[in-house]
Amino acid sequence: MSNHSTKPYLIRSIYEWCIDSNFTPFISVKVYSNLDIPNEYIKNGEVVFNIGEEAVHNLIISNETISFMARFNGISRKLEISINTVKGIFAKEVNQGIAFSLDNDEENQQNNNLIPDSLANQTKNISKSKLRIVK
């Protein structure tokens, strides 16, 4: 009996939670050489994709890959992303989801409620609260 990774199952469950809650699901992916996207979408060795129903077509989240059709600068591309390169999946509106370790050891996964700031800042501006002394 083989021991399957929990990662694709967690990705699918967070995706479904986003859709059921009317949130926009985003995935963060570590860039690799065969990823066919324009360079302007790459920041700090990663790319963040909106995988919502209106943003992509033919989305399939299998145990090995996430595949979908997306447009970049008006050009449609079929992407096939290895599950191993997914760094996290989160809901843009509430900044909640799950982040993964990219180590091969699945036991080192970081299952967090909040996404690290590096992912959140790419999709949402966070305003700092300002304190003021009133006399």
Which of the residue ranges 35-39, 41-45, 72-76, 104-108 would you say has the lowest mean pLDDT?
104-108
Instruction: State the pLDDT at residue 130.
Output: 54
Beta strands in 11-56 (DSSP E): 25-30, 46-50
pLDDT at residue 111 tops 70: no
- Residue 79 in 3-state DSSP? strand
Across 22-47, b (16+ Cβ under 10 Å) vs e yields ebbbbbbbebeeebeeeeeeeeeebb
Q: Which residue has the tokens 């963060």?
A: 28
| pLDDT tens digit sequence for 3-24 | 789 999 999 999 999 999 999 9
Domains contained in the chain, CATH given:
7-114 (2.30.30.220)
